Amino acid sequence: MTDARPLILACPAPRSLPLLFAPDRLAQLRAAYAVVETTDEALPRLPVATLARARYIVGQPPLDEALLAAMPALRCIFNVESNLLPNMPYGVLFRRGIHVVTTGAVFAEPVAELGLGLALSLARGIPQADAAFRAGTERWGGDGNAGARLLSGSDVGIIGFGDLGRALARVLAGFRPRLRAHDPWVAPSVLRQAGVGPATLDEVLAESDTVFCVAAATTENRGFLDAAAFARMRPGAAFVLLSRAAVVDFDALAAAVASGRIAAATDVYPEEPLPQGHPLRALPGLLHSAHRAGALDVAFKRMGEMVLEDMALLDRGLPPMVCKRAERETVARMRSAPVTRN
């Protein structure tokens, strides 16, 4: 008997379907769809009949024009990373009306919350105070607040104002900061509607007590936060990197921190995992997080919910509305590294 259910090609590695879907949702997915679990490497070798039936892809496998021609029923590619890779002919996909969507917005609030924690830790010297207490060298009362400052009411700059930038603005709102943001891909009116002042990159760097970098890596901004950029920051300011390592010249960042001019925190690194013995590990003034800001189970399960909701819309002949759609004007410019771990 022929299976009449729409067919899904699932190749979400390093994610897995049980990571993305709660047990009841995974059962719902398997009941409504014929799910073929595969890998990026094996997908092109699937039977012709399987490829011809595929309505959805869950993952981000390399695709070329010939492989897409073998999938005439394809309607949508669900990218369950937060990166859009230059590994498929987006022009062909757009011409055929095939949606490419990403669930990466689920990471915005978890990353923003951890970013807030890092910023507060830098402003109030929390890790240093804890280490001193454990070593028996703590300073009590005001003696322990040398160099400490308030985040409340301070000047805060955000570089990048996509989903994560917007989440940061919401998380920071209770601290009543004077918020400025720079994003050349966002209209000034969008920033103003979010309660954020539009600013140039120089203004964000020079006029902020804390600078959050949440800019995506693109063909246009590799290493744009360099020695000159860090030299423009206020003495004693904090720099918090939450997006992609490729946008920062890490040697320049390390030099700025080592000089004592700024303090910094980062959740991402030019090499991951960072090798044991790497100079960054022991650099005073640099607070570390092992690329864990967004990796919460609740975020992964929300990805599955988003996929199910948009599949239901597409099955009814409607466009996806929950996941974020790739835009033809910007998708080819994205240059983030592939996800290799959850």
DSSP of 72-138, one letter per residue? TT--EEEE-SS---S-S-HHHHHHHT-EEEE-GGGGHHHHHHHHHHHHHHHHHTHHHHHHHHHHT--
Residue closest to 156 by CA, chosen among 115, 187, 111: 115
Specify the range with the lowest mean pLDDT, choosing from 81-90, 200-209, 231-240.
81-90
Asked if 215 and 209 touch (Cβ cutoff 8 Å), the reply is no
In this prediction, residues 127-145 reach a mean pLDDT of 96
Residue with tokens 């399987």: 50
pLDDT band for 1, please (50, 70, 90 cuts).
low
For the residues 161-171, what does the mean pLDDT come to? Answer: 97
C-alpha closest to that of 60 among 91, 94, 87, 90 = 87
**Residue-level pLDDT at 333:** 87
Share of the chain above pLDDT 70, in %: 100
To the nearest whole number, what is the mean pLDDT of the chain?
A: 96
Confidence of residue 128 (pLDDT cuts 50, 70, 90): very high
Averaged over 86-94, what is the pLDDT? 95
Q: Which residues of 184-200 are buried (b: 16+ CB within 10 A; e: fewer)?
A: eebeeeebeebebebbe
pTM for the full predicted model: 0.95
What pLDDT shows up at residue 338?
77
Residue 126 pLDDT class (50, 70, 90 cuts): very high
**pLDDT above 90: residue 7:** yes
Q: How many CB atoms lie within 10 A of CB 139?
A: 12
Per residue in 292-338, pLDDT (tens digit) is 999 999 999 999 999 999 999 999 999 999 999 999 888 888 887 77
Report whether pLDDT(2) > 70: yes
- Where residue 141 falls among pLDDT bands split at 50, 70, 90? very high
What are the structural domains of the chain?
7-103+297-333 (3.40.50.720), 107-288 (3.40.50.720)
CA distance 316 to 300: 25
For 213, list phi and psi in degrees, rounded to 5: -105, 115
pLDDT for the residue 56: 98
Tens digits of residue pLDDT in 177-196? 999 999 999 999 999 999 99
